[in-house]
Chain A
Amino acid sequence: MAKIKCECGHINPEGTVLCEACGKPVEENQHIDGNDKQKLLNMRYDGSARRSQTYNKSIIDKLWNFFSSVKVGVWLIVLALIASGIGTIFPQEQYIPANAVSRDPSIYYEDQYGIFGLIYYQLGFHNLYSSWWYLLLIALIGISLVVCSIDRFVPLYKALKRQKPRRHTQFLKRQRLFSQTDDVTDDDKAKLKSNLKKKRYKVYEENGHLLAEKGRFSRWGPYVNHIGLIIVLIAALLRMTPLMYMEEYVWVREGEQTVIPGTDSEYYLENKEFVLETYDKDDERYQEALEMQGDVVKNYQTNVAIYKDSGEQVAGAKPELDKVTEDEIRLNHPLEVDGFTLFQSGYQNNEFKNMTFKIHETDDNDEKSLGSFTIDLSSPKDKYELDNGFTVAVNQYYPDYELDEGEPRSKTNYPRKPAFVFSVHTPDGEEPEMSFVGVGNNVDPTGENDYKLGIEDFDMRYASGLSVKRDYTLPFFIIGAAIFMIGVIQGMYWQHRRVWIHPEGEGVMVAGHTNKNWFGLKKDIEQVIEDTDVEMVTDQQELK
């Protein structure tokens, strides 16, 4: 490697723009930071030798240079920004509303949004955020910021470590803040130093040359925050593996018990009660709003018991359940059990829990009850014996009744629209009468029945939708986010300020540099030179 020896004696690595020790511009490298075209020096990385600016031969050099370019980085960010925005024009597939005509994306988008919707769907934008190219874009941003950071961090770190208080006058004159005073007393020079210390600058001295510096650590902010970002991106990758992340969904009806999916049949859950609360219509505070909006749900929750199967897990063996806990799972208050978390997610109220039927005489217009019986719809009995001596046998049970080309059948096994074929046996032992009774149906097939059955009462049953998650990546996200925050705060709320005092003849040169907040640095210098004859620095880059 061609090292560069500066006149101050320091040996710089190849590609150095400004001598690490004294800041003297290295003649042949000025084009790298564009210093040859302007008066002021580009101080971005203190003129340190960055790999990306130095080598450009092999394919690796070229790749490195591509990814370490901030221009490329910004392009990637802007592309990700635009792509993200496009994904919100129409709902993503998972947000197609439940009441849509069809939830099939190949139908929905065209039906709802016409030709634009069709194009949107055909381009795959309905699943934009999990498309290969979106993920690639994010991955490229990740690579770019790693390469970028390494490319700059190391040389910048070295340059700041090796800087000397004594700087070349060319370096000083070409700083943005600069002044030269011809006559300065030793008293004033001493005052400068003590004032700088008072302003909590760290002052380094070399033969009367001063370097006052503060907030250098803030220079590392961007690199810290990029590390945080990388951790977040890695966490997002890990989350795609089943080992680190599990997600299941389970519906449990009130009073039922079910195995918790994703736990290898180790855990069971019992829905003891589902609670749905709405706001009180008489609540003075919300009356006006409630009149307009109708019922507003205040809370819903499932009171559950969790069990663990402690027996040998043999296929077909009955589980031996030990209760682990009994608790509530509420919106905003998930329940955590042994590494997995249960969230209250949804609910349904479209199933019957039980139905009560009564018997009356067919020609009794008042339908006076002769007796009644209640069927538990989750386990109907074959036969119900009434107090008055009647017996009702259940010949057929359709939990979710429909007519399929004239044939009665049950659409599902859930009691959403129950219907029964009963036979009614009177106490006097006559021929039993057949009746067909269901929600919205009451048919007497012969037309000669003496007795009729009617629905007297019913209870609905809630089904609670719970999502089950086990996510070992969460700690990584948390750590990544925390590091990112530390990094941005470090880089944004502090600044790296430097002031150089350079004795020159009887007077001094004063130069200042900061990576941001020039207003603050100027104020610092103003206060440092107060009560001295030293001239205030001029801003050589003031916008006109």
Chain B
Amino acid sequence: MDSMANISGTALYIAFVLYFIATIFFGATVKQKKQDTSKSVSGAIGITITMIGFLVQIVYFVTRWIASGHAPVSNLFEFMTFFGMGLVFAFIILYFIYKLNILGLFALPIAMIVIAYASVFPTEISPLSASLQSHWLYIHVTTVSLSYGILSISFVAGLIYLIRQIDQTRRSKRTTWLEVVLVSLFVFVGFSIISLVFNVSGYSAEFEYSFNGETVTTDYHLPPIVGPNEGNLLTGDRMNPFFEAPGWMQGVEASRKFNTIIWSTLTGLLLYGVVRLILRKRIGAAIQPLLKKVKPDLLDEVSYRAVAIGFPLFTLGGLIFASIWAHYAWDRFWGWDPKEVWALVTWFFYAAFLHLRLSRGWHGERSAWLAVGGFAIILFNLIAVNLVLAGLHSYA
């Protein structure tokens, strides 16, 4: 059993490295002089390595399934990793429709950010709680992840579109918002790096505080910038928090999560600052020249097509399969639990996207911004709803 778990961990690691290598090959296509990038050798190598990486990640998935006795989609680590896999799979599908190399240069790093993000959450194999024990778990989660993956490709294409199209000669609201989007990607990277650093060093600081009238403890793995509201540091020899979480932050371990967010943001901003210093211009402006060759039309089309493919799939997995399962597991198919509501919000959002595009002619830049918004909602549902608005679905 243990060896299976080991194989699984190694496979995930290899897949990650392969995605990285594939990204480099897709990057090389940018420099090519040829107009028609679809026949590029470097692109062909890139997609081949991507597919091998994907197969290796399937090895991760299968071996972990064998090791744990259930499909590995039951905690935040497993689910986010699977989402990363869905993203890569969606990229492969759209690559074969459009042969667009630049898509790989952006989609794979985002998949890597997702996987890196996932892997700093507890990775030990956990037993499946009673209500999760159903075939609908696999059916629901796989379809949702795949649809999220495809919808994320819409974001990727939209992002490339924005970087390609937004006028970077002078600062404007649009350049600023684009930088905000890019900075948020840095914050995710920041989260992974800072968690990894302190995980390796084994940092731990324990606090005691009162929660719902009971005294509870929480274990910080990052130095406490913000401590629990009226908390007491138990571990000696650790720095004292600079300030306390405000009283209205009441969720489970709210202060620890808040602390993590602060650390991630700081690290992300630091990274961003360093990159800005090296580039000496907005990141959007720095990438823009590389995208000259890409046809904006095609990006717009890919972004829209991804929604067209992803929307029905999301309806099926995120609403219909979800309802069927909820019917069996919780005796009601719809219960206005935060996770369910956010699935509905996502669905409303993409319905609005489709209507705006179809009937009000929202193409190009507006459509691209909407694709960014959709991705933000997906991430919110994947991460914030679990960590902040805990309901029945809270895994972590």
B125, A285: Cβ atoms under 8 Å? yes
B247, A114: Cβ atoms under 8 Å? yes
Question: Which residues of B have CB within 8 Å of A314?
Answer: none
Q: Nearest Cβ distance between residue B294 and chain A, in whole angstroms?
A: 11
Pick the contact of B348 from A77, A279, A332 — CB < 8 Å?
Answer: A77
Question: Which residues of B have CB within 8 Å of A129?
Answer: 336
B363, A543: Cβ atoms under 8 Å? yes
A296, B348: Cβ atoms under 8 Å? no
Interface size on B, residues (CB 8 A): 67
Fill in one digit per residue for B375-396: 1 if any A CB lies within 8 Å of its CB, else 0: 0000000000100010100000
Report which residue of B127, B319, B329 has the largest number of chain A beta carbons within 10 angstroms of its beta carbon: B127
A87, B341: Cβ atoms under 8 Å? yes
A100, B212: Cβ atoms under 8 Å? yes
A333 lies within 8 A of chain B by Cβ: yes
A74, B352: Cβ atoms under 8 Å? yes
B127, A289: Cβ atoms under 8 Å? yes
Choose the segment among B48-56, B179-187, B299-307 that binds chain A (4+ C-beta atoms closer than 8 Å).
B299-307
Question: Which residues of B have CB within 8 Å of A279?
Answer: 127
B127, A296: Cβ atoms under 8 Å? yes
Fill in one digit per residue for B67-111: 1 if any A CB lies within 8 Å of its CB, else 0: 111000000000000000000000000000010000000000000
B355 lies within 8 A of chain A by Cβ: yes
Pick the contact of A543 from B98, B133, B296 — CB < 8 Å?
Answer: B296
The answer for the CA separation of A70 and B355 in the assembled complex, in Å, is 7
Question: Which residues of A have CB within 8 Å of B316?
Answer: 485
A88, B385: Cβ atoms under 8 Å? yes
A92 lies within 8 A of chain B by Cβ: yes
A539 lies within 8 A of chain B by Cβ: yes
A55 lies within 8 A of chain B by Cβ: no
A73 lies within 8 A of chain B by Cβ: yes
Question: Which residues of A have CB within 8 Å of B130?
Answer: 297-300, 331
Fill in one digit per residue for A142-166: 1 if any B CB lies within 8 Å of its CB, else 0: 0000000000000000000000000
The answer for the CA separation of A247 and B342 in the assembled complex, in Å, is 26
A74, B356: Cβ atoms under 8 Å? yes
The answer for the CA separation of A81 and B349 in the assembled complex, in Å, is 7
B331, A345: Cβ atoms under 8 Å? yes
The answer for the CA separation of A296 and B129 in the assembled complex, in Å, is 7
Give me the interface of B with A, judged by CB distance under 8 Å: 1-2, 67-69, 98, 122, 124-131, 133-134, 136, 165, 212-213, 247-248, 250, 295-298, 300-301, 304-305, 308-309, 311-312, 315-316, 319-320, 323, 328-329, 331, 333, 335-338, 341-342, 344-345, 348-349, 351-352, 355-356, 358-360, 363-364, 385, 389, 391
A493/B124 contact (C-beta < 8 A), A91-B391, A300-B130 known = no
A333/B296 contact (C-beta < 8 A), A81-B345, A489-B312, A517-B301 known = no
Closest to A288 in B: B124
The answer for the CA separation of A539 and B333 in the assembled complex, in Å, is 47
Question: Which residues of A have CB within 8 Å of B344?
Answer: 84
Question: Which residues of A have CB within 8 Å of B311?
Answer: 488, 492
A284/B212 contact (C-beta < 8 A), A81-B345, A290-B127 known = no
Question: Which residues of A have CB within 8 Å of B128?
Answer: 298
The answer for the CA separation of A543 and B134 in the assembled complex, in Å, is 48
Fill in one digit per residue for A334-350: 1 if any B CB lies within 8 Å of its CB, else 0: 10000000010100000
Give me the interface of A with B, judged by CB distance under 8 Å: 44, 70-71, 73-74, 77-78, 80-81, 84-85, 87-89, 91-92, 94-95, 97, 99-101, 112-114, 116-117, 129, 279, 283-286, 288-290, 292-293, 296-300, 331-334, 343, 345, 467, 469, 477, 481, 484-485, 488-489, 492-493, 516-519, 539, 542-544
Report which residue of B1, B316, B331 has the largest number of chain A beta carbons within 10 angstroms of its beta carbon: B331
- Which 3 A-B residue pairs are closest in the complex by CB-CB distance? A343-B331, A289-B126, A70-B359
B309, A88: Cβ atoms under 8 Å? no
B98, A84: Cβ atoms under 8 Å? no
Question: Which residues of B have CB within 8 Å of A492?
Answer: 308-309, 311-312
A286, B126: Cβ atoms under 8 Å? yes
A71/B336 contact (C-beta < 8 A), A81-B345, A492-B312 known = no
The answer for the CA separation of A488 and B248 in the assembled complex, in Å, is 43
The answer for the CA separation of A92 and B136 in the assembled complex, in Å, is 26
B300, A88: Cβ atoms under 8 Å? no
The answer for the CA separation of A238 and B348 in the assembled complex, in Å, is 23
B342, A88: Cβ atoms under 8 Å? yes
A543, B124: Cβ atoms under 8 Å? no
Question: Which residues of B have CB within 8 Å of A481?
Answer: 319-320, 323
The answer for the CA separation of A81 and B363 in the assembled complex, in Å, is 22
Other contacts beyond A77-B351, A85-B342, A292-B122: 4, CB < 8 A = A88-B341, A345-B331, A543-B297, A543-B363
Q: Nearest Cβ distance between residue B262 and chain A, in whole angstroms?
A: 21
The answer for the CA separation of A77 and B129 in the assembled complex, in Å, is 36
Q: Nearest Cβ distance between residue A247 and chain B, in whole angstroms?
A: 8
A95, B337: Cβ atoms under 8 Å? yes
